[in-house]
Amino acid sequence: MKTIIVDTNFLIYCAKFKIDFFSEIDRLMLTNYKIVTLNTIIEELEKVKPKELKLIKRFLEKVEIIKTNEKKVDKELQFLSSKDFIIATQDRELKQKLKGPKIIIRQKKYLELK
Protein backbone atom coordinates (compact mmCIF):
# COMPACT_ATOMS: atom_id res chain seq x y z
CA MET A 1 0.00 0.00 0.00
CA LYS A 2 1.30 3.45 -0.95
CA THR A 3 1.08 6.37 1.45
CA ILE A 4 0.42 9.86 0.10
CA ILE A 5 1.29 12.84 2.28
CA VAL A 6 -0.53 16.10 1.48
CA ASP A 7 1.34 19.26 2.42
CA THR A 8 0.18 22.74 3.37
CA ASN A 9 0.17 24.50 0.02
CA PHE A 10 -1.28 21.48 -1.77
CA LEU A 11 -4.27 21.59 0.60
CA ILE A 12 -4.63 25.35 0.16
CA TYR A 13 -4.52 25.16 -3.66
CA CYS A 14 -6.94 22.22 -3.80
CA ALA A 15 -9.41 24.21 -1.71
CA LYS A 16 -8.81 27.43 -3.65
CA PHE A 17 -9.34 25.76 -7.05
CA LYS A 18 -12.09 23.46 -5.71
CA ILE A 19 -10.23 20.30 -6.68
CA ASP A 20 -11.65 17.11 -5.21
CA PHE A 21 -8.25 15.59 -4.57
CA PHE A 22 -9.78 12.36 -3.25
CA SER A 23 -11.38 11.50 -6.60
CA GLU A 24 -8.36 12.82 -8.53
CA ILE A 25 -6.00 10.62 -6.52
CA ASP A 26 -8.35 7.67 -7.14
CA ARG A 27 -7.96 8.37 -10.86
CA LEU A 28 -4.15 8.50 -10.61
CA MET A 29 -3.39 5.56 -8.37
CA LEU A 30 -3.38 2.04 -9.77
CA THR A 31 -2.72 0.48 -6.37
CA ASN A 32 -4.07 0.66 -2.84
CA TYR A 33 -3.17 3.85 -1.01
CA LYS A 34 -3.93 5.94 2.02
CA ILE A 35 -3.81 9.71 2.34
CA VAL A 36 -2.14 11.24 5.38
CA THR A 37 -0.75 14.53 6.58
CA LEU A 38 1.65 15.54 9.33
CA ASN A 39 0.76 17.23 12.61
CA THR A 40 3.25 19.97 11.68
CA ILE A 41 1.32 20.66 8.48
CA ILE A 42 -1.84 21.16 10.54
CA GLU A 43 0.13 23.58 12.74
CA GLU A 44 1.32 25.47 9.62
CA LEU A 45 -2.27 25.79 8.41
CA GLU A 46 -3.35 27.19 11.77
CA LYS A 47 -0.60 29.84 11.55
CA VAL A 48 -1.25 30.81 7.93
CA LYS A 49 -5.06 30.77 8.33
CA PRO A 50 -5.95 30.73 4.64
CA LYS A 51 -9.49 31.83 3.80
CA GLU A 52 -10.08 28.25 2.64
CA LEU A 53 -9.30 26.88 6.12
CA LYS A 54 -12.89 25.77 6.77
CA LEU A 55 -12.95 23.66 3.59
CA ILE A 56 -9.45 22.32 4.28
CA LYS A 57 -10.55 21.16 7.74
CA ARG A 58 -13.37 19.19 6.10
CA PHE A 59 -10.80 17.53 3.81
CA LEU A 60 -8.65 16.70 6.83
CA GLU A 61 -11.50 14.88 8.58
CA LYS A 62 -10.95 12.07 6.05
CA VAL A 63 -7.15 11.99 6.41
CA GLU A 64 -4.94 10.26 8.97
CA ILE A 65 -2.58 12.58 10.85
CA ILE A 66 0.94 11.34 11.51
CA LYS A 67 2.81 12.78 14.49
CA THR A 68 6.38 13.85 13.87
CA ASN A 69 9.02 15.39 16.10
CA GLU A 70 10.76 17.20 13.23
CA LYS A 71 9.81 20.90 13.36
CA LYS A 72 10.90 21.66 9.78
CA VAL A 73 8.12 20.34 7.57
CA ASP A 74 10.11 20.39 4.31
CA LYS A 75 12.98 18.48 5.89
CA GLU A 76 10.58 15.79 7.14
CA LEU A 77 8.86 15.56 3.73
CA GLN A 78 12.23 15.13 2.01
CA PHE A 79 13.11 12.32 4.41
CA LEU A 80 9.74 10.58 3.94
CA SER A 81 10.01 10.95 0.16
CA SER A 82 13.24 8.97 0.29
CA LYS A 83 11.37 6.25 2.22
CA ASP A 84 8.88 5.62 -0.64
CA PHE A 85 6.12 7.99 0.47
CA ILE A 86 4.40 10.00 -2.27
CA ILE A 87 4.35 13.73 -1.49
CA ALA A 88 1.51 15.92 -2.78
CA THR A 89 2.86 19.47 -2.99
CA GLN A 90 2.87 22.68 -5.00
CA ASP A 91 6.01 24.04 -3.33
CA ARG A 92 8.53 24.66 -6.15
CA GLU A 93 11.65 24.36 -4.00
CA LEU A 94 10.39 21.26 -2.25
CA LYS A 95 9.43 19.55 -5.53
CA GLN A 96 13.03 19.92 -6.73
CA LYS A 97 14.42 18.44 -3.52
CA LEU A 98 12.12 15.40 -3.35
CA LYS A 99 13.73 12.14 -4.40
CA GLY A 100 10.57 10.05 -4.72
CA PRO A 101 7.30 10.41 -6.60
CA LYS A 102 5.15 13.47 -6.12
CA ILE A 103 1.63 14.59 -6.93
CA ILE A 104 1.16 18.10 -8.30
CA ILE A 105 -1.74 20.23 -9.54
CA ARG A 106 -1.97 20.86 -13.30
CA GLN A 107 -4.10 23.53 -15.01
CA LYS A 108 -5.80 24.39 -11.70
CA LYS A 109 -8.04 21.32 -11.94
CA TYR A 110 -6.09 18.08 -12.44
CA LEU A 111 -3.58 16.16 -10.41
CA GLU A 112 -0.53 14.57 -11.98
CA LEU A 113 1.77 11.90 -10.57
CA LYS A 114 5.42 12.62 -11.41
CATH number of the domain that residue 60 is part of: 3.40.50.1010
Q: What is the mean pLDDT of the chain?
A: 94
Has this prediction a pTM greater than 0.85? yes
Residues of the chain with pLDDT under 50: none
Query: Number of folded domains in the chain?
Result: 1
Which strands make up the sheet holding 86-88, listed edge to edge?
64-66, 33-38, 2-6, 86-88, 102-106, 110-113
- Residue range(s) defining the domain that contains residue 24: 2-113
Question: What is the model's pLDDT at position 49?
Answer: 84
